[in-house]
Amino acid sequence: MSTTTRQLILQRCFEAIQAKGFETLRTDKEIARLKITKGAFYHYFPNKSELGYAVVDEVMLPYYEQKWASLNNIETGVAAALNSIFENEKAKATETTIKRGDVLTNMILEMSHSDDLFRQKLEAVNEVQVRILQKAIMAGRVAGELKNQTDARSMALFIIGQMMGCYTIGKVRASKDTFISMVSTLQKQVKESLVMDSIEADNKASSAAAAASAPASYPTMGSVSTIKNTEEEKTSRGGWFNRSR
């Protein structure tokens, strides 16, 4: 019995859970589809719960890490990377995937109330996404791209929660268009609350430069021409994610 057999079982069962949920998963059907013996299956997973735990740890966790991978260890371009993730979620949506919903959300609703170990493992999948986003938001602030007004962790939790909500409402309405519309609204919310616009960024940079170059006894204020130039730059640069630095 090879590691490959175990991985094949996990992947096939993950796909079945995506399609119909964990509680309706029938291991005997998956054994037949994989054309392996029951002995081989139960060698790796003595019961359905152990199978579920392994699916969460070994398939779902890396699956969701990969979703946000472009934000891992990022130092600049956080807004553009986050926007690309939103756009990818909309682009890959199909009527079938939206009717199925988000597999993590589905499993949370199915299993958290009845199995605390399941709940903890599902929470870990949620947490790894939050931490990736939180770290990226903090990096964006250091780079002068993102606003400081909102707590980074709270914003990360908000974004993850809203994405789960987009899938949930899309699922209950069986509507890809609804899902896409909701994600687009989320993008606008993130822009308004998190992303620094051209004038804010340029004024911040100008103030920092002026403070560094001016004599200590003479505070420096931005000139009218500086404000006018930043207004013109904002118009020419276009969208909030595409600002060159």
pLDDT at 197: 72
Dist. CA 152–CA 239, nearest whole Å: 23
List C-alpha distances in Å: 231 to 196, 197, 199, 209. Answer: 14, 11, 7, 19
Give the model's confidence band at 26: pLDDT under 50 very low, under 70 low, under 90 confident, else very high: very high
pLDDT at 220: 41
List C-alpha distances in Å: 32 to 26, 115, 141. Answer: 10, 27, 53
Query: Residues 93-140: pLDDT tens digits?
Result: 999 999 999 999 999 999 999 999 999 999 999 999 999 999 999 999
Q: Pick the more confident residue, 183 or 245.
A: 183
Does residue 186 contact residue 159 with C-beta atoms inside 8 Å? yes
Give the model's confidence band at 85: pLDDT under 50 very low, under 70 low, under 90 confident, else very high: very high
Using the 8-state DSSP alphabet, how is residue 71 labeled?
G
Question: Quick one: which of 148, 152, 150, 149 has its CA closest to 137?
Answer: 152
On whether the pTM is more than 0.85, the answer is no
pLDDT at 200: 52
Query: Residues 174-225: pLDDT tens digits?
Result: 999 999 999 999 999 999 999 987 545 445 545 544 445 545 543 443 433 3
- The burial class, CB within 10 Å (0-12 / 13-18 / 19+), for 202 is buried
pLDDT at 2: 54
As a whole number, the mean pLDDT across the chain is 85
Using the 8-state DSSP alphabet, how is residue 59 labeled?
I
pLDDT at 230 over 80: no
pLDDT at 150: 77
- Pick left, alpha or beta for residue 23 (phi over 0 → left; psi -120 to 50 → alpha; otherwise beta): alpha
For residue 72, how far is the Cα from the chain centroid? 11
Domains and their CATH numbers in the chain = 48-194 (1.10.357.10), 198-237 (no CATH)
Give the model's confidence band at 228: pLDDT under 50 very low, under 70 low, under 90 confident, else very high: very low
